[in-house]
Amino acid sequence: MSFSFTKMHCNGNDYVVLETFTQEIYDLFTLSLILSDRRCGIGADAMIEVAPCEEADAEVRVYAPDGTDTDVAGCAARCAVKLLRDQRICEKERYRLKMPAGMVEAEPVSFRRRSVSAVCELIPMIETAEKGSVEVEARERSYRLYPVERMGRHCVLFADENFADTEGIENVNLAAVASALNSLPEWKGASVQLIEPSGDGGWKLRMWIPGQGEARANAIGVAAGVMAMARRGLALPHEDVRVAVQGGEMVFHVADGTLFLTGTVQDVFDGVSRF
């Protein structure tokens, strides 16, 4: 079997992206294990399949490095839009994509200039039945977290409420915190975000994704952090909300109950694989 693919990255998170509109590809589970391997394959944080869909412009499936399907891949929608536009599979001003955890809308920022180096994802500020914060006990420690249900389950923690005695979120053992929270049945499989002010009017965020580890960037995860800020009652700026992650800075604009996330999606290289 021979097929083409594109290696992409968003804020340092890298992906092998392939489409099944014009080519047939089998055994995607095994394929994702091989392609994502950083020693014997191409190397990626996840493999993304962009497939035909009757309900939307495309269905986007995300495979973690261990081959399992995942619904925590915030950059997948932007990668899919870039691939659809660049390969002229579907050219639109706004795309509707079927993702693992629901429908997503995204659009090329530079559509008029026929460039999709940046893609804007529209993320509704959906409120669930869970309001505010909850206190949980995990492995003999108490945590105050803000639950957010948006394209996956997220546990958002603020440093000043949980780690006031720690000098900066960089010094928190995030893997241990995520393991503790994921040990609770009600939070098993949830991603964990840790936030603190950056001192320049913005925010810093670290995120742990089960099955993947600490992410350099994740659009949905950072959006969950911004939603948690609103849950906590923090006043969001009228201008942009800037959130620094390991892979760089993500910028949100809040308008009419929607988060507009603009981020750069870059091609690394195109290739052909024989499997």
95 vs 55, 110, 203, CA distance in Å?
12, 14, 29
Window from 41-50, 163-172, 189-198, 262-271 with minimum mean pLDDT = 262-271
pLDDT at 218 over 90: no
Residue 106 CB-density burial (10 A; 0-12 exposed, 13-18 middle, 19+ buried): buried
The pLDDT value given to residue 210? 84
The stretch 219-224 carries a mean pLDDT of 82
3-state percent helix, strand, coil for the chain, nearest multiple of 5: 20, 45, 35
Most confident of 175-179, 209-213, 247-251: 175-179
The stretch 232-253 carries a mean pLDDT of 79
Window from 19-23, 70-74, 82-86, 267-271 with minimum mean pLDDT = 70-74
Q: For the chain, what is the mean pLDDT?
A: 85
pLDDT at 256 over 80: no
Q: How many helices and strands in the chain, by DSSP H and E?
A: 5, 17
Residue 225 CB-density burial (10 A; 0-12 exposed, 13-18 middle, 19+ buried): buried
Instruction: Give one DSSP letter per residue of 190-240, joined into a string.
Output: -EEEEEEE-SSSSEEEEEEETTTEEES--HHHHHHHHHHHHHHT----SSE
The pLDDT value given to residue 123? 64
Higher-pLDDT residue of 144 and 109 is 144
Distance of alpha carbon 218 from alpha carbon 224, whole angstroms: 10
The pLDDT value given to residue 111? 42
Q: Which two tokens mark 160?
A: 């000043």
Higher-pLDDT residue of 130 and 105 is 105
Q: How many residues does the chain have?
A: 275
The pLDDT value given to residue 110? 53
Where does the pLDDT of residue 100 fall: very low under 50, low under 70, confident under 90, or very high at 90 and above?
A: confident
